[in-house]
Structure 1
Amino acid sequence: MFRKLWAATAASNLSDGVSLAAAPLLAATITRDPTLIAGITVAQRAPWLVLAFVSGALADRLDRRKVAQSANWIRAAAFAALTAGVLADTLSMPLLYAVFFAIGTAETLYDSVSAAWVPTLVGPEELTRANSRLQTTFVVCNEFAGPPVGGFLFAAAASAPFALGTAGYLAAVGLLALIPPAARRTDEPDGGPLTVANVREDIAVGARWYWSSPVLRALSLVAAAGNAAVAASYGLLVLLAQDELGVSDEGYGVMLAAGAVGAVLGGLAAGRVGGWFKPGTLILVTNLLSAAATAGLGLALGPAVTVALMALDGFVVLVVSVHMVTLRQQIVPNELMGRVTSVYRVVAVGSFAVGGIAGGAVAGAFGVPASFYAAGAAIAVASLLALPVLSNARLTEVRRRAEAAPAPGGPAPVS
């Protein structure tokens, strides 16, 4: 059953990746204002800040297969509308914003569901491997295959990448239909009435569970620091490449590809690397390596060194991401997974905006390399602050308690 979810995720991620290149190209045919074009990314990210809690509650209350299918129906309809707009020559920036806000809304639903669904489709011993496959597929489809295909198709016909994206989302709907209906909350077999009041209470339960778990708070702190660092540094990578390293546009592409290659290798090797370290040690070592690589990029020691550091950072980030997701799935009751994950991801994803603003301010005051030094320092400090909570002994005890946790509606285990 997991293979069908995996295939559906690959199909939808390929559609996402195609739009990464095609959407800015399409926007550039309407306006040359960089602020308006950047607004597409804002529209797609905004639902994580305003709708993620509701998506998490729905992921736990409703049949997860139907929620996942609904998310892909929304994305297919949005891309179909965009395709029609291109063909009818009725494009506008408001239409693009509406389409990508809908895409972002669907992402909050699908990501909340898939995080909760995976542990029900594979055994505990296969959880790390399953997450590794999903993370690797994301990188391959979103960063390797999707953008080049999107750019090539757009050059052939502006509507083509969005028509392909529509087909990808519809294919995902069909693949998900092959999976047996997903289990509902065990403490509420009939799902209960879907009202504003009980959804609000569902959200509150998830938020309380998250807040009462020091381990989850520490994991989200580490994830937030990493995401903020990415926004603060990698958002300025093009300036570092051009002004400090003097590389060509092709050389900049090679740098980006190096990070993606490292990430794919990290996803493939995550299970094996996890066998070499205990979880607390793995989280600390990989984050410190990421901190060193990020700060090292600011030194601008040369294109070859920069490519190596990009690959190293991509590798360790994917390794630790796989194991942090697996750890979260192991300690959170599955009936609460959607709600708790939504709170966790609001903290982690919301940090992108903070990091982007901070990185720009640091670069403006002290120069572009300084943003990389500050980003590396932020990752290292967050990892060291979380160390007492994410120690090997603490994580072993938390996982042991999770296996003997009370009924899902009860209080969170002390962690």
Structure 2
Amino acid sequence: MLNTAVDEADTDQDFRRYLAARATSVTGSLVATVALPVLVYQLTGSPAWTSAIAVAEALPYLLFGLVAGAVADRADRRRLMLVADFTSAALLATIPAAWALGVLTAPHVLVVGFGVQTLFVVFDAANFGALPTLVGKQRLTTAYSQVYAATTLAELLIPPLTGLLVAIAAPAPLIAVNATTALASGLLVRSIVRPLSTAKDTAERRAATSIRTDIRTGLAFLARHRTVRVLTLVGTTHSVASGAYVAMLVPWADRVLGVAPSGDWRIAVLFSGWGIGGLLASRLVPRLNNRYGGARLALGALPTSLLCGCAVLLSTHWIAAALSATAWGTAHSTVVINAITHRQRITPDDLQSRINTTCRMVSWGIGMPTGAALAGAVTMSGASPQVGIATGVLALLLGVVAAWSSPLRHESRTTPANP
């Protein structure tokens, strides 16, 4: 009993270090997300160059996600995370240094943005397998909910604060903040005592298989496991919906709710509703998961999310819209947190990085831009922003039908709730 208590105390301390590393890293990334496009536009005055930085930051997950997942399942995850953090810090530091010397160019910023995001893909792949190894699958939902809450809080606070700083100061020196947070994240990961991967398994896999074989093995597992496939589809439909909502939020607020995109404090309320919903979900999901189990919670949260999306569509007053958006954000985040942790529970330890990186590529890497593109396409033909949001709600309907026609229904009847 004493050894168990000591192990749990060590795990708690290591998880706090892990959580601090994630929060610190996300904070720096959010600073760069705001500052880099502003910096490129100041350097070039070109919308094309400014959009290029967004493309450069989005491409690496689609290009390298499969390889990064395979590498993370066969290598020391802690070492990969350290290499990613410390190399990112070095790359980012070149921007304020070049700015101070008067030699900073847009291609330089573009290369750094692409390089840092590529390193993030490596870090994220290792991170997906590290958390279940660190806390154990029984504590995974609670642990991931805490991580989700910390990152959501950062997403609520950091972009507007960075926007204010960019308005009163040059953006290039702010990139030093991201370099510092990447370094701090690496030091925190380095201080974690417990292992983040199983050395025996990774050594055997390196000796027995190639990266190409590991990729095929991960894709084969995803292809044959219906529950994992359904959870990935659910995540994708929710990413499509959130992409459509984010793309249409400003025109919807302006044309339907009468909330101007600038100079009107109510736009900040509408923007914050989704994030507040995420914070609420991070507190609710562990309790709901323990009471109902992952499969039953998924089946209940999906139609709830669909109904909340319909409530947003029907809102014509900004207060009703803000409340509906917050409710939708809560239901949306409940689906996402539960889907990720339920998928991690049923995925074998030696496949964690490959499966979760692949699913993130599909759901986030494809779903978000697809939702935004669909919403934009329908409004280009003269349709209202509500019709654009409706394309995302229709995607949610597909997710509900797929989930209720899947093995999740059988799991919800046969699998008891978590103790």
Match of 2:153 among 108, 127, 140: 140
Aligned to 1:367: 384
For residue 247 of structure 1, give the secondary structure of its aligned residue in structure 2: coil
Match of 2:100 among 87, 93, 112: 87
Q: How many residues align?
A: 397
- In the alignment, the residues of structure 1 paired with residue 379 and residue 347 of structure 2 have an alpha-carbon distance, to the nearest angstrom, of 39
Deviation at 1:77, TM superposition (A): 2.1
Q: Which letter does structure 1 place at the counterpart of 2:30?
A: G
**1:270 is aligned to 2:270:** no
Aligned to 2:211: 199
Asked whether the equivalents of residues 11 and 172 of structure 1 are also in contact (C-alpha less than 8 Å), the reply is yes
Match of 2:224 among 196, 203, 212: 212
Match of 1:175 among 176, 188, 193: 188
Match of 2:118 among 92, 102, 105: 105
Aligned to 1:405: none
Match of 2:78 among 58, 61, 65: 65
Q: Which letter does structure 1 place at the counterpart of 2:373?
A: I
After TM superposition, list the pairs within 5 Å mapping 1:9-408 onto structure 2: 9-141=22-154, 143-154=155-166, 155-180=168-193, 181-184=195-198, 186-189=200-203, 192=206, 198-248=210-260, 249=262, 250-348=265-363, 349-365=365-381, 366-394=383-411
Deviation at 1:258, TM superposition (A): 1.9
Asked whether the equivalents of residues 293 and 415 of structure 2 are also in contact (C-alpha less than 8 Å), the reply is no
The more displaced of 390-399 and 257-266 is 390-399
Q: Which letter does structure 1 place at the counterpart of 2:377?
A: A
RMSD: 2.3
Deviation at 1:119, TM superposition (A): 1.2
Deviations 1:230-280 (A, max 9, x none): 222321211111122221333212211122112112112221232343433
- Tell me: CA distance 1:32–1:242, structure 2 relative to 1, closer, same or farther (3 Å): farther
- In the alignment, the residues of structure 2 paired with residue 395 and residue 73 of structure 1 have an alpha-carbon distance, to the nearest angstrom, of 44
Q: Which letter does structure 2 place at the counterpart of 1:304?
A: I
Deviations 1:184-226 (A, max 9, x none): 46445366369xx811111111111111101111111111111
- In the alignment, the residues of structure 1 paired with residue 339 and residue 200 of structure 2 have an alpha-carbon distance, to the nearest angstrom, of 25
- Tell me: CA distance 1:87–1:390, structure 2 relative to 1, closer, same or farther (3 Å): farther
Q: Which letter does structure 2 place at the counterpart of 1:271?
A: P
With the length of structure 1 as denominator, give the TM-score of the two structures: 0.89
- In the alignment, the residues of structure 1 paired with residue 300 and residue 161 of structure 2 have an alpha-carbon distance, to the nearest angstrom, of 36
Deviation at 1:386, TM superposition (A): 2.2
Q: Which runs of 5+ in 1 are unaligned?
A: 401-415
Deviations 1:110-147 (A, max 9, x none): 22111111111113332111000111111112x12321
- In the alignment, the residues of structure 1 paired with residue 37 and residue 50 of structure 2 have an alpha-carbon distance, to the nearest angstrom, of 7
Q: Which letter does structure 1 place at the counterpart of 2:297?
A: L
Deviations 1:144-192 (A, max 9, x none): 2321332243323433321111111100111111123433464453663
For residue 192 of structure 1, give the secondary structure of its aligned residue in structure 2: helix
Deviations 1:303-333 (A, max 9, x none): 1011111111221122222211111111111
Asked whether the equivalents of residues 60 and 185 of structure 1 are also in contact (C-alpha less than 8 Å), the reply is no
- In the alignment, the residues of structure 2 paired with residue 225 and residue 152 of structure 1 have an alpha-carbon distance, to the nearest angstrom, of 34
Deviations 1:55-82 (A, max 9, x none): 1011111111011111112321232122
- In the alignment, the residues of structure 2 paired with residue 397 and residue 48 of structure 1 have an alpha-carbon distance, to the nearest angstrom, of 36
- In the alignment, the residues of structure 2 paired with residue 103 and residue 309 of structure 1 have an alpha-carbon distance, to the nearest angstrom, of 36
Asked whether the equivalents of residues 153 and 160 of structure 1 are also in contact (C-alpha less than 8 Å), the reply is no
Deviation at 1:342, TM superposition (A): 2.0
- In the alignment, the residues of structure 2 paired with residue 123 and residue 57 of structure 1 have an alpha-carbon distance, to the nearest angstrom, of 21
- Tell me: CA distance 1:279–1:148, structure 2 relative to 1, closer, same or farther (3 Å): same
Asked whether the equivalents of residues 256 and 316 of structure 2 are also in contact (C-alpha less than 8 Å), the reply is no
- In the alignment, the residues of structure 2 paired with residue 317 and residue 25 of structure 1 have an alpha-carbon distance, to the nearest angstrom, of 30
- In the alignment, the residues of structure 1 paired with residue 47 and residue 131 of structure 2 have an alpha-carbon distance, to the nearest angstrom, of 39
Q: Which letter does structure 2 place at the counterpart of 1:351?
A: G
With the length of structure 2 as denominator, give the TM-score of the two structures: 0.88
Aligned to 1:407: none
- The structure carrying a bigger helix percent of its residues is 2
Asked whether the equivalents of residues 8 and 173 of structure 1 are also in contact (C-alpha less than 8 Å), the reply is yes
- Tell me: CA distance 1:311–1:228, structure 2 relative to 1, closer, same or farther (3 Å): same
- Tell me: CA distance 1:396–1:169, structure 2 relative to 1, closer, same or farther (3 Å): farther
Q: Which letter does structure 2 place at the counterpart of 1:232?
A: A
